[in-house]
Structure 1
């Protein structure tokens, strides 16, 4: 602490500081006084702001409600039946020649290269009725070119395929197909339909005979015997 600071503290405590005008005998040398920096002004205390309590829920203004406009609501996706109708029928047939009947069979899967193991065994059993082997079948794919066809065009293509089979000298066609496939060319299954080129009979598909043999094998055999397609 220098002399000026010491004297400032003495004055602050109410004492009168003094310094000798001339050096006294035997006294310590008088220190050199430096200018005293003015004391910093006291910082005023910031008054504390009163705390505001949140208003009760009943007094709060209601929040604005946002309603979706019709333009922001996404349109509903088309139903599955509509998409299937646009895709059109899809199936694959294999036609085997016998002495007096064309055996036309629908595959379990349209895009498969052929029949499954159990279905192939059933095909062999059916061909034994006419004592013929599997041979090389004729194939019909719907849609023919891979592009979807409406039902009326698919019916025309299937009818042309079956008519082409009967022009070779065998006037009868036994169609083992699902109900929706057979309905493209025949009004109902298990009843023979006469055409200009011969007779067509639609019965149960191979898949139906394998999954429900008691019902579909019986109905198929009864329809074949009743129409004379069994020999």
Structure 2
């Protein structure tokens, strides 16, 4: 589904590359976990794949379409759920979803029914006509998720989809994502919740200093790291325990 070749990115006036000669293949139907410390290059890679920034060098394709010559087509194929809430607080949940869906050309009774269906599935049906500013963090997170996948994308990019939510909201979100994946959506997932990633992802890639340093199923990575019993221990063994603060 996604093929990345020799992808590099160096920001203007930066001393180092944020990504350096990165090669990666992500298969159709995977739940692929993109993990790494702060500043490792995760956000840069996702931003490039979503068409938000241009790489310094290298290339990638999504569903066989090259990013240079099929930019508009690629945007139709993907959905993005950012870590920050991309919602209008003065609009209701329904109004937000109607607005974002209409940007993809969705309309008519079937679209209205789809909004109601997803709100019900994620436990928000009774709050459909309440303003977002009155919602809890978990409720906003669930509306944020629906907004990114209303157009039923082939590839869904998720940046910390369960950060700051209660256990019940987290469970509903993960179950919903698993159902989406079972229906054919390829998921690219980034998170600092490594226990969640271990149970959720079919395959994981860890990047650090802009390079891919390991790749495999969570089980494979744990087995290959001596003494490790969980993915978090693999992560710390490969990236170290030093703080990764940056500004």
Tell whether the structures are fold-level matches, with TM greater than 0.5: no
TM-score calculated relative to the size of structure 1: 0.29
Higher relative CO (Cα under 8 Å, sequence separation at least 6) belongs to 2
